[in-house]
Amino acid sequence: MADSTITTQGVILYDRWPGFATAPPIDNIQDMTSSVVGHNQATPKYNVGTKWVLYNDTKASDVGVKCWRGWSTFVYLKSAADISTAIAGSVNFFCVPDDTIVPTSENDALYTVVADTDRTTHETLGLVACAISTMTDGYFGWFWCGGVAPLQYVPGMLVASVFQTDDSLYSPSTVTALTPVATTATEIGLMAAATGGQTQIIGEAVYADGA
């Protein structure tokens, strides 16, 4: 497929991870990539799969330019052991469960994610989340999985930042839904939902990619 990109405002994610997102148990969170909230830590500060919601006020003073107000959902996951090789798990890269999940996989395998499609067979899974910083191999941290792009809480995610796509996103009245897909660069990108409804819809585009 032809690779393309879409800027952060163009994507609204539908959260598909198990469980219910709640308000964080700590006040005045400014940065979801800080160690204070347990991001990129060798020992998990929260249970994997924990989900938080935060509201982006997105005043111009917060991020320099306008971006969407509204809720973002984050999920606490573990970067795979080899996440820093090949396609690294870094900010604005989508990730899915690592390797190939089987009945005897480790009990946290569902939450161990990778950004490189050469290292997973789950590129089209609904359990997809976007890295919000560079992750250390085997470390735990927060990933964006629902709502608007969390620009207010992620220093490396900007209005002009882009996500990888296949140049198929958004056509008024015909195409709006998103599914994850392997790009030619072995990254996990976003594409228009396949016809026939056999892939998971994980969000929607509100304007076209490649513009």
Partner 1 sequence: MAATLTLEALILIPRWPGVAVPPPIPVTDITSAGAGHNLALAMWPVGTRWELYCSGDQVSVGVSYRQGFTDVVYLQAGPDAASATASVRTVICVPDETIAAADANDLLYVMASDEDVSTHENSGLMAIALSTMTNNYYGWYWCGGVYPVEYVASAVVADTFITDDSLVAGTAVAPSAGTETIDMRANPTDSQCPETGITLIGDGA
Cβ(115)–Cβ(130) below 8 Å: no
Q: Which of 27, 42, 102, 197 binds partner 1 (CB under 8 A)?
A: 197
Query: CB of 101: closest distance to partner 1 in angstroms?
Result: 26
Pairwise CA distance, residues 124 & 89, whole Å: 17
Pairwise CA distance, residues 73 & 71, whole Å: 7
Examine residue 207 and tell whether it contacts partner 1 (CB under 8 A): yes
The DSSP H or E segment spanning 209 is none
**Span from 94-102, 107-115, 118-126, 144-152 in contact with partner 1 (CB under 8 A):** 144-152
Give the number of other Cβ atoms within 10 Å of residue 153's Cβ. 24
Examine residue 109 and tell whether it contacts partner 1 (CB under 8 A): no
Cβ(75)–Cβ(142) below 8 Å: yes
Examine residue 50 and tell whether it contacts partner 1 (CB under 8 A): no
Query: Amino acid identity of 195?
Result: T
Number of residues that bind partner 1 (CB under 8 A): 42
Query: CB of 127: closest distance to partner 1 in angstroms?
Result: 18
Pairwise CA distance, residues 120 & 123, whole Å: 7
Query: CB of 171: closest distance to partner 1 in angstroms?
Result: 8
Q: Is 35 exposed, middle or buried (0-12, 13-18, 19+ CB in 10 A)?
A: exposed
Examine residue 61 and tell whether it contacts partner 1 (CB under 8 A): no
For residues 81 and 201, which CB has a smaller minimum distance to partner 1 in the complex?
201
Query: CB of 204: closest distance to partner 1 in angstroms?
Result: 5
Q: Which of 3, 7, 81, 99 binds partner 1 (CB under 8 A)?
A: 7
Examine residue 11 and tell whether it contacts partner 1 (CB under 8 A): no
Q: How far apart are the first and last CA of the chain?
A: 17
Query: Amino acid identity of 171?
Result: S
Pairwise CA distance, residues 191 & 4, whole Å: 10
Examine residue 161 and tell whether it contacts partner 1 (CB under 8 A): no
Query: CB of 177: closest distance to partner 1 in angstroms?
Result: 5
Question: If we measure between CA atoms, which residue out of 12, 173, 190 comes closest to residue 94?
Answer: 190
Examine residue 12 and tell whether it contacts partner 1 (CB under 8 A): yes
Interface with partner 1 by CB under 8 A: which residues? 7, 9-10, 12, 14, 20-22, 53, 55, 57-58, 65-73, 146-148, 159, 172-177, 192-197, 201, 204, 206-207, 211
